[in-house]
Amino acid sequence: MRNRQPLQFYNEPLAGVDVSDLQGKLIVVEGPDAVGRSTQIALLRQWLEQEGHAVLDSGMARSALAGKGIQQAKEGNTLQPITMTLFYATDFADRLENEIIPALRAGFVVLIDRYIYSIMARAIARGEDRRWIEQVAGFALVPHAVYYLRAEVEQLVRRVVIGRGAFDYWESGMDLRFGTDMYESFVKYQRRLIKALDTMVEPYNFTVIDAAQPIDKIFRTLQRHVSRLRLSGLGPQRPTRPRARAAKA
């Protein structure tokens, strides 16, 4: 995977997409649940827009095609692992075709809060075959950079307790039936998730950032890395924003 150039497809390309037309930058922020990805995406967007760049940010379960369906299915706590994986893969495919690729054509900086790697990690944490899920996700573009905010489970627990005051059913992997205690299930599931993401660091060329640091220090680290991507080489810095089909669920 290391030898793949940015904005090439990992496996089979999407029909009708000429990667030479994609002039923007694709930047991914990855990490387990409650690690602070959304906070850093918001800070990066604000900074980049102040620098004069047009920015699109996107994330899981935001597509017009599947976003609402995912939320509705999760409310019933009945999703099976493979169904969940395919649901999220469909959501990603819709956002890739109708949001991410048009924005890259227009010269946007595209910030993604979790990419195919989280879909893959969740599947692996639920016991699905790694080669199968890699093939399923192979229509994705190779990003210019993937920043992996890594934290230990104990740090995630503190953030959930202090920030939210309660554990989420799916973030705790309660569907895996580790037990009835949501805290214990959260710890077991997030450890699996972190382990799966850790195995992707080398093959997918993640830049690992210690998420135990203060928010502002993490942001400054991200700023330094993003600044090296030569964003000034993009086309028009304020192109017309492509119509976003998705609304945040």
Which band of pLDDT confidence, cut at 50, 70 and 90, is reported for residue 234? Answer: low
CA 210 vs CA 112, 119, 215: distances in Å: 19, 22, 11
pLDDT of residue 9 exceeding 90, the answer is: yes
E-assigned strands of the chain?
25-30, 55-59, 109-113, 145-150, 207-210
Instruction: Sketch the domain layout of the chain as residue ranges.
Output: 23-230
Q: Does CATH place domain 23-230 in 3.40.47.10? A: no
| Mean pLDDT confidence for 176-182 | 93
DSSP states of 77-139 as a string? T---HHHHHHHHHHHHHHHIIIIIHHHHHTT-EEEEES-HHHHHHHHHHTT--HHHHHHHTTT
Residue 12 pLDDT:
87
Share of the chain above pLDDT 90, in %: 82
Q: Across the chain, what does the average pLDDT equal? A: 91
Q: pLDDT by residue (tens digit) across 120-170? A: 999 999 999 999 999 999 999 999 999 999 999 999 999 999 888 999 999
| Mean pLDDT confidence for 169-194 | 95
| Mean pLDDT confidence for 93-111 | 97
pTM for the full model?
0.90
| Mean pLDDT confidence for 219-247 | 67
